[in-house]
């Protein structure tokens, strides 16, 4: 919905877009060297990615909490501390993450929500593109299916 709105407004005003993903914006708000933004994807799943020193190490993906914990555990540890997780998905999965030695930012921390100011800061660094060039990034198949 957000991308469709942005594309429509850009078309209406003949403006380019500067795309910034939600996980990237969430990661930029986390004050740690290794960060694990996690958004509640419903159905017991999370949208997640991994960033090290601001660089994306894992492309965004959808996963269950157990698989996420296993993936983090398999990270090479050459000088890397465990990630700091944030986002509503990390709050919902706090117990499982912390039992796997993955720290979760305190519940009152501002890094659990995507900030418009951070999106603007990141957008200033992104190349502007035509609205039709920006496509949604679907990480799982939709629930809706055509009726027969």
Q: Which helix (H) or strand (E) holds 104?
A: strand 103-104
Give me the residue label for tokens 């398999």: 74
The verdict on residue 2 lying in a domain is no
The verdict on residue 15 lying in a domain is no
The model's pTM: 0.87
94 lies in which domain range?
A: 22-126
The verdict on residue 10 lying in a domain is no
| CA pseudo-torsion sign 71, 73, 78, 84 | positive
pLDDT score, position 51: 96
CATH number of the domain at 106, please.
3.30.420.40
DSSP notation for 31-95 = -SSEEEEEEEEETTEEEEEEEETTEEEEEEEEEEHHHHHHHHHTS--TTPPPPEEESHHHHHTHH
The verdict on residue 13 lying in a domain is no
The verdict on residue 62 lying in a domain is yes
- What are the pLDDT digits (tens) for 76-135? 877 788 899 999 999 999 999 999 999 999 999 999 999 999 999 999 999 999 999 999
Q: Which helix (H) or strand (E) holds 26?
A: helix 22-28
Q: In sequence order, what are the residues at sequence separation of 6 or more whose Cβ sits closer than 8 angstroms to the Cβ of residue 72?
A: 36, 50, 82, 83, 100, 102
- What are the pLDDT digits (tens) for 3-59? 999 999 999 999 999 999 999 999 999 999 999 999 999 999 999 999 999 999 999
The verdict on residue 42 lying in a domain is yes
The verdict on residue 138 lying in a domain is no
Number of domain units in the chain: 1
The verdict on residue 81 lying in a domain is yes
Count the neighbouring beta carbons within 10 Å of the beta carbon of residue 78: 5
């Amino acid at each position: 919905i957000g991308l469709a709105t942005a594309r429509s407004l850009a078309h209406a005003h003949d403006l380019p877009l500067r795309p910034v993903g939600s996980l990237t914006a969430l990661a930029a708000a986390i004050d740690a060297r290794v960060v694990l933004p996690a958004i509640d994807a419903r159905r017991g799943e999370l949208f997640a990615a991994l960033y090290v020193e601001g660089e994306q190490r894992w492309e965004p993906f959808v996963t269950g909490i157990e698989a996420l914990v296993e993936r983090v555990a398999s990270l090479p540890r050459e000088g890397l501390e465990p990630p700091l997780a944030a986002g509503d998905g990390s709050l919902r999965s706090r117990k499982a993450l912390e039992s796997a030695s993955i720290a979760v930012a305190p519940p009152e921390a501002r890094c659990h929500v995507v900030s418009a100011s951070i999106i603007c800061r990141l957008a200033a660094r992104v190349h502007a593109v035509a609205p039709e060039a920006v496509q949604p990034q679907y990480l799982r198949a939709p629930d809706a299916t055509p009726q027969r």
